[in-house]
Amino acid sequence: MTTALERAKAAAIKKQTTSLITDERILMFGGSGAGKSESYLSIAEALYQRGDDVKFYVLDTDKALAATLHRGYPHLANIFEWEYHRNYTDMRNYVLGVQERVRPQDWFVMDRVEKIWLALGNWFVKRVYGMEPDEYFIQVAADIEALKKKNEKLIAEAARTGKKPGKIKKGTGKEFGGFAGPEWQSLNRSWAAFQERAVLEMPCNVFACAGIKELSDSDPADLVAMYSGYRDDGHKKQAHDYHTVLQIRRGQKRRVYTISDRGDREELKQEVIEDRAFSEWYMERQGMI
């Protein structure tokens, strides 16, 4: 016959085991200093204080996590593993390595995800053109400007002589972002493969931080409908691979806006968290506090 103490211990173990967070896919975007890194660190702090057996693996593209941990969270160093990378191949290899080590209750963090998208473009330029990215994009701009001047010269000559102008080429094909159509297709496929590894197939929780950018006329209609004026910086379709998309703003008070959430939390869409600890709100919605 079990004692009351034994039953209480068993209940506590069962509660902790069943309340471990798993299968979260969170994308948070906002301006510099808004509190994106602080948000996932607050989750780590709360889980650490609770005594959860959990570890955070961070792909740090800002080279800022070590200083942040040392300054505000030195006691969390043992539950964090992080690497700073600028090269896309190194980023991809780190993701593949993390996939082999994580457990369902662990967290994989990308801080910040738009820099991975930029690194992919730079990697593409080096692999395809054998050029350094800065040299490549300057050359693209020079080619566009040279074609523009050539067309202007042909039009001016036609106006002077009264003859039809010679063949005018509309563009180099690389006016939009420095890449031609087929190149964009290759980049998009490469990005989709990375997202599968880092988000969809990562066997643990995922938290991605992104900067913020204004919506433009080139953004697809589904993004315009989803956001209000601003969206996450990076690949324009990256948000579709996350369950939860949040925008964080910091003025006199910190506000977190729920842009979208997964199906079983429909009622939380457009929720605003004002001046609260992110972990408090997050764990409350998980039914953990």
pLDDT band for position 55 (50/70/90)? very high
pLDDT band for position 8 (50/70/90)? very low
| 279 vs 99 pLDDT, higher one | 99
pLDDT band for position 106 (50/70/90)? very high
Tell me which long-range contacts 36-40 makes (C-beta under 8 A, separation of at least 24). Answer: 36/111, 36/112, 36/209, 36/210, 36/248, 37/64, 37/65, 37/68, 37/111, 37/209, 38/278, 39/207, 39/248, 39/256, 39/278, 39/279, 40/107, 40/109, 40/111, 40/207, 40/209
Least confident of 77-91, 114-128, 161-175: 161-175
pLDDT tens per residue across span 161-201: 877 766 777 777 776 777 888 888 999 999 999 999 999 99
d(CA 282, CA 231) in angstroms, rounded, equals 21
Whether a cis peptide bond, with omega within 30° of 0, leads into 265 is no
Strand order in the sheet with 254-260: 80-84, 56-60, 107-111, 205-210, 25-29, 244-250, 254-260, 272-274
pLDDT tens per residue across span 243-262: 999 999 887 777 888 888 87
If you ran DSSP here, which 8-state letter would residue 204 be given? S
- Sequence-separated (6 or more) residues with CB below 8 Å from residue 190: 120, 124
d(CA 83, CA 246) in angstroms, rounded, equals 25
- Sequence-separated (6 or more) residues with CB below 8 Å from residue 49: none
Q: Domains in the chain and their CATH numbers?
A: 22-130+204-285 (3.40.50.300)
pLDDT band for position 234 (50/70/90)? very high
Phi-psi region of 175 (alpha: psi -120 to 50; beta: other; left: phi over 0): alpha
DSSP state letters, 48-67:
HHHT----EEEEESSS-HHH
Residue type, 197: R
Read off φ and ψ for residue 56, nearest 5 degrees.
-110, 130
| 1 vs 136 pLDDT, higher one | 136
What's the helix, strand, coil split of the chain in %, to 5?
50, 15, 30
Least confident of 65-69, 222-226, 263-267: 263-267
Please, what sign has the CA dihedral across residues 248, 109, 103, 263? Answer: positive
d(CA 29, CA 287) in angstroms, rounded, equals 24
